[in-house]
Amino acid sequence: MAYDASSGSCSADPLIIGDSVALGAAEPLQQIMPKAIIDAQVSRQLGTAPGIYAQHAAAGTAGNAVVVALGDNGAIRDESTLQGIVEAFDGKPVYFLTLRAPVSWQDPNNATIRSFAAHHANVGVIDWYGTSEGHSEYLYDDGTHLTPQGRDAYAIMMRQAFCGQ
């Protein structure tokens, strides 16, 4: 994947399956990664990822990697949930985003994501929790949804994950 310094864009073409946080960042994400397919909806649950992927695979819009930007709207039961998602993605590289939200499942979900990725070669972590640490200006008062600064930081984090810049 190539980074174009003149435009600040990355040629990566992941399918990004997300909830309202990713939806909030859709515009800067599309500018920074114009080939990305962003499929995000408010209140989306983690368990919807395989079905959404299947729709994109059937339409030929599944990209070369899948980003699962879900987990804000409920607890991850255990690593078998993530295993089922990865198995549904036809062997493509999968990246799970850590979450930042003032909910009881934030830390357990992040720990499950990190543990699962550590044991699966084709699974990576994109660390929104770490990126947003100490940056209250990235989030509205609800502690979850992205301000304009947060949207840009989220998009840049994704570009860095795929293009290193």
Cα–Cα distance measured from residue 37 to residue 144, given in angstroms and rounded to the nearest whole number: 22
Strand 66-69 versus strand 15-18 pairing type:
parallel
Cα–Cα distance measured from residue 152 to residue 159, given in angstroms and rounded to the nearest whole number: 11
> Is residue 63 a contact partner of residue 36, using CB atoms and an 8 Å limit?
yes
Q: Which tokens go with 10?
A: 């990355």
Q: Is 78 a catalytic residue?
A: no
Among 20, 43, 132, 136, which one carries the catalytic annotation?
20
Distances (CA, A) of 43 to 7, 18, 26, 47, 162: 33, 9, 15, 12, 26
Q: Which tokens go with 135?
A: 């940056």
Q: Is 56 a catalytic residue?
A: no
DSSP code string of 91-124: T--EEEEP---SSTTHHHHHHHHHHHHHT-TTEE
Active site residues: 20, 142, 145
